[in-house]
């Protein structure tokens, strides 16, 4: 495989991120109610906190900043959102709230400790007023659901705080875990991205990948990881997971900068994660093969790149995800690549929504899936290599929607796809849209960032 010098895709984000319009939030509520009907649910309780805000943010545009929140959704009543004291002033961020399509009540137990929490109704009183009773059928959505081999009462295993779950169950014994409504890789509502969502995620992917390029180009031996992180370009948008920079002989996975010094011959990995985006790279601080472990590129990076080339070629609407997973296990044998996680997963406002790529999966890939090229090898000497970015599967109908509503976004995606085809040599299906300005790019030597590997 050749090391080539090539210009990379260039684009800058718009000054203001694309806005999700009110009518799309209304459509999301309608689709969620349809899902409730299919599951015979009279009530759906959507829990959110700072770490687990994606379902509520997707439904309403509101994400709690300090406290918990609870959205109570019924089939034929304006939804009620419960927030703590500090989050009340943030509610107008929601287009639904601004349009009078959300009711609100302050529930002070969601407030922080030692703030006055004596002036709100008890939760059971609120729930009964929302027509919850013993014959209701309720669902609760947090951020996970479970299988019988994980929990003996998987359907009823709720991953929301006990004081909420216990209160709901005390009134309505038939309460089930309903997170699959949003998360299931085949049917979850958030696995079907709209044109507006794709445009928003392309915006964050441009920011993340440009930040990664800036950081890599700033690498100089002797600087600290804190200095390096300053080049990543944080601009205030919410993170989908914590940003990392790890280097040095005592590097720890997922670690923040800690004062380690950038040294030649050491590995370095980093990620930049915003809603709908996570750009991650890992390679050696080197200018050539002489400063990296013997055989690093030939025996580790090149087979990985070849495997990823096949992975991309298989990402087609209708492809069976379990077949892709099995093929990647063949191409990247465990005794060398030690891949522990799924060979790819879905991303959304949260960094890991779910994954269709698991052993025996019969899930068909569908239009609207936002997929991370998150195939993570590890090795005691070669450490890792990475080309993690976000790609969207978009069928003809969704591409036509993008052409109508966000034509510039689609044009940039097409240009990135052609770069992957014509410069890097990947077989990229027409359905696949790269959102990052580092699509398929591996620079194995971080002190020579403009040298990139191509398939042919």
Please indicate, yes or no, if residue 96 is contained in any of the structural domains. Answer: yes
Percent helix, strand, coil in the chain, to 5, is: 35, 15, 50
The single residue listed with the structure tokens 């940003």 is: 243
Q: Are residues 375 and 246 in the same domain?
A: yes
Q: Are residues 440 and 297 in the same domain?
A: yes
pLDDT at 185: 98
Domain boundary among 177, 198, 226: 177
Instruction: State the pairing for strand pair 175-177/138-141.
Output: parallel
pLDDT at 218: 96
Q: Are residues 443 and 296 in the same domain?
A: yes
pLDDT at 118: 87
Cα–Cα distance measured from residue 299 to residue 294, given in angstroms and rounded to the nearest whole number:
9
Q: Are residues 194 and 162 in the same domain?
A: no
Range of the domain at 58: 40-177
Please indicate, yes or no, if residue 58 is contained in any of the structural domains. Answer: yes
SS3 (DSSP) at 455: coil
Q: What is the pLDDT of residues 97-130, one digit of tens each?
A: 999 999 999 999 999 999 988 889 999 999 999 9
Please indicate, yes or no, if residue 182 is contained in any of the structural domains. Answer: no
Q: Are residues 316 and 280 in the same domain?
A: yes
- What are the 10-residue block averages of pLDDT along the chain, 456 residues in total? 87 88 97 98 97 97 94 97 95 97 96 90 97 97 94 93 97 97 98 97 97 96 94 91 89 86 95 97 95 95 97 98 98 95 97 97 98 96 95 98 96 97 96 97 96 92
Please indicate, yes or no, if residue 25 is contained in any of the structural domains. Answer: no
Domain boundary among 116, 150, 177: 177
Q: Are residues 389 and 288 in the same domain?
A: yes
Q: Are residues 105 and 230 in the same domain?
A: no
Query: Is-contact 257 245, C-beta < 8 A?
Result: yes
Cα–Cα distance measured from residue 33 to residue 39, given in angstroms and rounded to the nearest whole number:
10
Cβ neighbours for 49, distance < 8 A, ≥ 6 positions apart: 64, 67, 68, 69
Q: Are residues 321 and 429 in the same domain?
A: yes
CB count within 10 Å of CB 162 equals 9
Q: Are residues 248 and 366 in the same domain?
A: yes
Write out the two tokens for 419.
Answer: 């770069």
Domain boundary among 177, 208, 229: 177
Cα–Cα distance measured from residue 260 to residue 324, given in angstroms and rounded to the nearest whole number:
38
Tally of domains in the chain = 2
Domain at 162, CATH number: 3.40.350
Taking the CA of residue 368 as centre, how many other CA atoms within 13 Å lie in the half-sphere pointing to its CB?
A: 16
Q: Are residues 8 and 116 in the same domain?
A: no
Write out the two tokens for 386.
Answer: 């990475």
pLDDT at 372: 98
Please indicate, yes or no, if residue 33 is contained in any of the structural domains. Answer: no
Q: Are residues 131 and 259 in the same domain?
A: no
Q: Are residues 370 and 241 in the same domain?
A: yes
Write out the two tokens for 345.
Answer: 């997963």
Cα–Cα distance measured from residue 218 to residue 64, given in angstroms and rounded to the nearest whole number:
35
Query: Is-contact 69 110, C-beta < 8 A?
Result: yes
pLDDT at 146: 95
Domain at 246, CATH number: 3.90.230.10
Write out the two tokens for 205.
Answer: 């992917």
E-strand spans in 112-233? 138-141, 175-177
Cβ neighbours for 69, distance < 8 A, ≥ 6 positions apart: 47, 48, 49, 53, 56, 62, 81, 82, 83, 84, 87, 110
pLDDT at 252: 82
Please indicate, yes or no, if residue 113 is contained in any of the structural domains. Answer: yes
Write out the two tokens for 148.
Answer: 């019988």
Please indicate, yes or no, if residue 183 is contained in any of the structural domains. Answer: no
Cα–Cα distance measured from residue 274 to residue 269, given in angstroms and rounded to the nearest whole number:
17
Please indicate, yes or no, if residue 62 is contained in any of the structural domains. Answer: yes
């Amino acid at each position: 495989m050749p090391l080539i010098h090539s210009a990379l895709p260039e684009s800058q984000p718009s000054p203001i991120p694309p806005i999700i319009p009110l009518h799309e939030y209304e459509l999301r509520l309608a689709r969620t109610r349809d899902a409730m009907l299919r599951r015979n649910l009279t009530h759906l309780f959507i829990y959110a906190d700072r770490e687990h805000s994606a379902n509520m943010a997707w439904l309403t545009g509101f994400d709690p900043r300090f406290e918990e929140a609870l959205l109570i959704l019924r089939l034929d009543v304006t939804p009620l959102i419960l927030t703590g004291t500090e989050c009340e002033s943030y509610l107008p961020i929601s287009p639904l709230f601004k349009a009078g399509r959300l009711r609100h009540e302050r529930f002070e137990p969601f407030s922080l400790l030692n703030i006055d929490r004596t002036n709100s109704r008890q939760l059971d009183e609120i729930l009964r007023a929302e027509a919850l009773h013993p014959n209701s059928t309720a669902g609760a959505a947090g951020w996970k659901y479970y299988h019988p081999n994980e929990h003996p009462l998987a359907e009823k295993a709720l991953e929301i705080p006990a004081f909420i779950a216990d209160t709901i169950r005390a009134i309505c014994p038939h309460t089930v875990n309903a997170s699959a409504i949003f998360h299931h890789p085949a049917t979850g509502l958030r696995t079907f991205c709209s044109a507006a969502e794709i445009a928003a995620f392309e915006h964050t992917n441009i920011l993340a990948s440009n930040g990664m390029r800036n950081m890599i180009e700033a690498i100089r031996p002797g600087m600290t990881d804190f200095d390096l992180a300053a080049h990543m370009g944080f601009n205030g948008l919410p993170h989908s997971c914590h940003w990392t920079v790890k280097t040095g002989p005592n590097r720890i996975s997922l670690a923040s900068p800690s004062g380690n010094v950038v040294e030649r011959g050491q590995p370095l990995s980093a990620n930049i994660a915003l809603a709908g985006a996570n750009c991650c790279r890992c390679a050696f601080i080197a200018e050539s093969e002489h400063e990296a472990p013997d055989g690093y590129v030939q025996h580790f990076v090149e087979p990985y790149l070849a495997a990823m080339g096949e992975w991309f070629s298989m990402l087609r609407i209708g492809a069976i995800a379990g077949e892709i997973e099995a093929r990647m296990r063949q191409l990247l044998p465990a005794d060398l690549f030690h891949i522990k996680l799924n060979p790819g997963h879905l991303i959304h406002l949260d960094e890991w929504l779910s994954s269709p790529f698991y052993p025996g999966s019969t899930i068909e890939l569908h239009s609207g899936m936002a997929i991370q090229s998150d195939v993570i090898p590890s090795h005691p000497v070669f450490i890792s290599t990475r080309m993690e970015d976000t790609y969207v599967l978009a069928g003809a109908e969704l591409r036509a929607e993008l052409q109508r509503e966000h034509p510039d976004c689609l044009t940039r995606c097409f240009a990135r796809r052609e770069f992957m085809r014509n410069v890097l040599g990947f077989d990229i299906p027409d359905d696949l849209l790269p959102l990052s300005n580092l699509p398929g790019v591996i620079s194995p030597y971080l002190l020579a960032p403009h040298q990139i590997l191509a398939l042919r």
